[in-house]
């Protein structure tokens, strides 16, 4: 169980950039990175430097900020992308390859032996450059379990630092997440990262169950922004973990910063912070029923 020893990979500057309304300038990316670093997240994940010349420059700029958080960039499992990423000065590289039959047939057209061969080559290259490397399958929960475990076992054997499970289209439920992570925990020795989309409203619960089953890292974004319905929101994960161990969360993260970073990002992407948002929503701590109100007035800790 990793509930007492988990890390946040904050992906507003990668997954969040894929939100429909997100068009961050370079200066805005720096401000987001600094706010999240002040909040205390352990990792920042950035858009691939292969996405555009500006993305490459932004990776280089943020990598030079001297933040406490480790800076990662997310790239395709392709040697050209990996070489470009290494040159940006980031602390680690997150590589991804689609493994479901849908992606193998309709996206990249590669089979499992090819995926393993490519993954091994890229991972060994990144490690040779002295950087941490994560390998993640894409669309993990619509992938064949034998295929997944075969790939993960192969990359674990060559010393990948972390493997990722991605609920790319948000179809998994907490029971499925727990079972897959628990199975994977029995196969690999490395750390396990969970990336969960929120299409069916399970992203926070799925992330928590992943940690219960042995995952060590969870991807988040501010307000959950990202592709379609987004991913596990930073505030949502913090709220869930606060309910598990409030003192641990107070010790690890500068909670008063949460409202500031959420308001800043909300303004950039032209959305309002929801009234029922975790922790910072307008009604998050509002009681109207007499029984509840009396208890709060008598003892706010109730």
Q: pLDDT of 16-28, one tens digit each? A: 999 999 999 999 9
Specify the pLDDT at position 54. Answer: 98
Q: Is residue 1 part of a domain?
A: no
Q: Is residue 48 part of a domain?
A: yes
Q: Does 50 score more than 70 pLDDT?
A: yes
* Banded model confidence at residue 292, pLDDT cuts 50, 70, 90: confident
Strand, helix or coil at 6?
coil
Catalytic residue among 161, 197, 254, 292: 292
What is the number of domains present in the chain? 2
Query: What global pTM score does this model have?
Result: 0.94
Same domain? For 97 and 196 the reply is yes
Mean pLDDT of 158-174: 97
Residue 297 belongs to domain spanning: 274-302
Same domain? For 161 and 42 the reply is yes
Mean pLDDT of 43-55: 98
Specify the pLDDT at position 302. Answer: 75
Mean pLDDT of 87-98: 95
The bridge status of strand 191-196 relative to strand 7-10 is: unpaired
Specify the pLDDT at position 142. Answer: 86
Same domain? For 258 and 280 the reply is no
Same domain? For 208 and 298 the reply is no
Comparing 79-88, 97-106, 137-146, 152-161, the range with the smallest average pLDDT is 97-106
Mean pLDDT of 119-146: 94
Same domain? For 298 and 167 the reply is no
Q: Is residue 140 part of a domain?
A: yes
More confident residue, 157 or 147: 157
Q: Is residue 17 part of a domain?
A: yes
Same domain? For 264 and 122 the reply is yes
Same domain? For 279 and 156 the reply is no
Specify the pLDDT at position 286. Answer: 87
Same domain? For 287 and 203 the reply is no
Share of residues in the chain with pLDDT > 70 (%): 96
CA distances to 3, 29, 257, 298 from 270, rounded to whole Å, are 34, 16, 20, 39
Specify the pLDDT at position 104. Answer: 55
More confident residue, 160 or 287: 160
Same domain? For 29 and 58 the reply is yes
Q: What is the mean pLDDT of the chain?
A: 94
CA distances to 34, 103, 233, 277 from 69, rounded to whole Å, are 9, 32, 18, 25
Specify the pLDDT at position 300. Answer: 82
Cβ within 8 Å of residue 295, ≥6 positions away: 302
Specify the pLDDT at position 131. Answer: 98
Q: Which two tokens stand for residue 182?
A: 């628990």
Closest listed residue to residue 241, CA positions, set 264, 220, 266:
220
Same domain? For 263 and 288 the reply is no
For residues 78 and 50, give the distance between their C-alpha atoms in angstroms, rounded to a whole number: 11
Q: Is residue 23 part of a domain?
A: yes
User: Is-contact 193 206, C-beta < 8 A?
Assistant: no
- Residue 292 is among the residues annotated as catalytic for this protein: yes
Same domain? For 171 and 266 the reply is yes
Mean pLDDT of 282-300: 86
Cβ within 8 Å of residue 292, ≥6 positions away: none
Q: Is residue 2 part of a domain?
A: no
Same domain? For 73 and 192 the reply is yes
Closest listed residue to residue 134, CA positions, set 3, 7, 1, 5:
7
Comparing 9-18, 48-57, 72-81, 284-293, the range with the smallest average pLDDT is 284-293
- CATH code (residue 259): 3.20.20.70
């Amino acid at each position: 169980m990793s509930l007492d020893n988990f890390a946040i990979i904050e992906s507003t500057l990668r997954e969040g950039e894929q939100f429909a309304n997100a068009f961050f300038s370079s200066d805005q990316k720096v401000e987001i990175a600094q706010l999240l670093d002040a909040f205390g997240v352990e990792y920042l994940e950035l858009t691939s430097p292969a996405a555009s010349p500006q993305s490459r420059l932004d990776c280089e700029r943020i990598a030079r900020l001297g933040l406490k958080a480790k800076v990662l960039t997310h790239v395709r499992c392709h040697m050209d992308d990996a070489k470009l990423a290494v040159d940006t000065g980031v602390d680690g590289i997150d590589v991804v390859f689609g493994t479901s039959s849908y992606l193998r047939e309709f996206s990249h057209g590669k089979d499992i032996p090819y995926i393993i061969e490519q993954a091994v080559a890229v991972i060994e290259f990144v490690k040779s450059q002295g950087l941490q490397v994560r390998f993640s399958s894409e669309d993990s929960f619509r992938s064949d379990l034998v295929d997944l475990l075969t790939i993960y076992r192969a990359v674990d054997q060559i010393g990948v630092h972390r493997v990722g499970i991605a609920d790319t289209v948000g179809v998994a439920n907490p029971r499925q997440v727990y079972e897959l992570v628990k199975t994977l925990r029995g196969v690999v020795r490395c750390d396990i990262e969970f990336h969960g989309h929120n299409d069916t409203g399970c992203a926070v619960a799925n992330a928590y169950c992943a940690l219960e089953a042995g995952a060590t890292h969870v991807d988040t974004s501010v307000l959950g922004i990202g592709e379609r319905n987004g991913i596990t929101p930073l505030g949502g994960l913090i709220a869930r973990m606060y309910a598990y161990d409030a003192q641990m969360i107070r010790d690890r993260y500068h909670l008063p910063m949460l409202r500031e970073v959420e308001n800043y990002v909300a303004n950039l992407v032209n959305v309002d912070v929801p009234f029922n948002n975790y922790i910072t929503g307008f009604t998050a701590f509002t009681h109207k029923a007499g029984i509840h109100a009396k208890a709060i007035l008598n003892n706010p800790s109730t």
